[in-house]
Amino acid sequence: MAEVLVAAQGVTKVFRTGDIAVEALRGVDLEIGAGEFMAIVGPSGSGKTTLLNLIGALDVPTGGRIEIFGRDLGPLSRPQRAELRLESLGFVFQAYNLVPVLTARENVEFVLELQGMAGSERRRRAEETLDELSLAELADRRPGEMSGGQQQRVAVARAVASRPSLVLADEPTANLDSDNAQSLLQMMRRLRDESEMTFVFSTHDPLVVSYASRVVILRDGKVLSDERKEAER
């Protein structure tokens, strides 16, 4: 049985604005094992992004418990959660979150620098990762000089360059055409196989679902179904 990387038990999340409370997650139980290539799907407002943010230690649940790599997130301070994210997690956000004054190469190098990787190795790893995503010719461009799809792929390169144990990707193919989306998913699958990385996607894209080895459907903040495929695409 694969090592359990994430364990969510009875997780709830309530967002409050004045007297208004929105229950985004309602008692989610979920385990994610090492080597998963998992898609979380569901309609807008079902809780997909909220669940990713909780798994990624970007937020804390209102109720229940989340363990990542065997550590309960509840008692961790904000700096401890930040350290956990830096050391072991990669993120692909819908809004890209690239640093606008940095080039594509520098954006990819940024996390590696924070991790203390030496300059020559950092540059080699960044260029290698950009090349894997057919972005070598954009290495010296800043985000404002790229299309949305190009920024999306640079954001993916930044997320995977450090070879984190777990990558969380929120709609990673949303701004890509089908060819680039397929190339991206194949590259992620290869990283899963070669570098023992685990990928969890929130998505509306049937292509991502077709590549996933496991599909979790959320509706109204609850797990509606959780199915593993007998064979990957």
Q: What is the DSSP string of 90-118?
A: EEE-TT----TTS-HHHHHHHHHHHTT--
Higher model confidence: residue 7 or residue 93? 7
The answer to whether residue 8 scores a pLDDT higher than 80 is yes
Q: What is the mean pLDDT of residues 14-38?
A: 94
Write the pLDDT tens digit of every residue in 125-166: 999 999 988 899 999 999 999 998 899 889 999 999 999 999
- Per-residue confidence (pLDDT) for residue 189, from 0 to 100: 92
- Per-residue confidence (pLDDT) for residue 51, from 0 to 100: 96
The answer for residues whose C-beta is within 8 angstroms of residue 54's C-beta and 6 or more apart is 8, 11, 13, 25, 60, 61, 66, 73
- Per-residue confidence (pLDDT) for residue 166, from 0 to 100: 96
**Nearest-angstrom CA–CA distance, 76 and 185:** 33
- Per-residue confidence (pLDDT) for residue 231, from 0 to 100: 62
- Per-residue confidence (pLDDT) for residue 1, from 0 to 100: 52
Q: What is the mean pLDDT of residues 87-114?
A: 92
- Per-residue confidence (pLDDT) for residue 96, from 0 to 100: 85
Summary mean pLDDT of the chain: 92
Q: Choose among 96, 93, 90: nearest CA to 5.
A: 90
Query: To the nearest whole percent, how much of the chain has pLDDT over 90?
Result: 79
pTM above 0.85, yes or no: yes
Q: What is the mean pLDDT of residues 76-104?
A: 92
- Per-residue confidence (pLDDT) for residue 196, from 0 to 100: 87
Write the pLDDT tens digit of every residue in 193-210: 988 899 999 999 999 999
Which domains does the chain carry? 4-228 (3.40.50.300)
- Per-residue confidence (pLDDT) for residue 121, from 0 to 100: 94
The answer to whether residue 119 scores a pLDDT higher than 90 is no
Write the pLDDT tens digit of every residue in 159-191: 999 999 999 999 999 888 898 899 889 989 998
The answer to whether residue 233 scores a pLDDT higher than 70 is no
- Residue 200 sits at φ, ψ, to 5 deg, of -130, 120
Query: To the nearest whole percent, how much of the chain has pLDDT over 70?
Result: 98
